[in-house]
Amino acid sequence: MTRRSQVVWWLRGAALAALLVYLPGYFSSRQGGLVEVERWLNHPVLLLGTAIALAVASAVAQFEFRTRWAQIGCAAVLSPLLVIGAGVGTVAYIFGGDGRLVDRKPDPNRSDHVLRVTDIAFSIDPVYRVELLTGSGWSARHWGLGTWEEGDGFVRAEWSAPGRITVTLREEIEVFTVDEDGTLGGPSVTPRSRQPL
């Protein structure tokens, strides 16, 4: 095997590794996924971008550029793309985290069931994500109750009783029940006009 072929296969292997690292993070972002695995590995811009960049680099490395001008031209095209990609990936990793914590409340009867509200917006207009966290450490799982923008009229999310979460919006109230194992039931939705202010 020539040195060029070795480089091509190393680049392809690294691209596959980046993709395989991202997959557990993606699956953990779904209902009931592991909180820590999602936090560490669910970075699609960084990891998928790296996989794509390495795959493109492996395809380019396969070509044999016989003249010096062909080599310079290829480097002139690829270098800015790699720099821009690395910059976008780094910014996405730094600012694409869990969002700003707005509120965190444990169930009155169970400290291992926690209601968490985060502002996940990239702009000044808030976007509220409401989640139930169950368990602790690396075994902690998350269950999404919903995501509401400012225009949806989000007011608050709270434990209205042990094992029951109430999300209050401007127009309606949504009530979720929490089973012993941490899975969610509901919501039952009631128009807010029928509720006392």
Per-residue pLDDT of the chain (197 residues; tens, 9 = 90+): 677 788 888 988 999 999 999 999 999 999 989 999 998 998 888 888 888 888 888 877 777 666 777 667 766 766 776 777 667 666 665 555 567 888 999 999 888 999 999 998 877 888 999 999 998 899 999 999 999 987 888 999 999 999 999 999 988 999 999 988 778 887 888 887 654 54
Structure tokens at 29: 């972002």
Alpha-carbon Rg of the chain, whole angstroms? 23
CB 28 within 8 A of CB 34: yes
Give the Å distances, CA to CA, from 175 to 10, 39, 131, 168, 185.
52, 27, 13, 9, 9
Alpha carbon distance 175, 147 (integer Å): 15
Residue type (1 letter), 62: Q
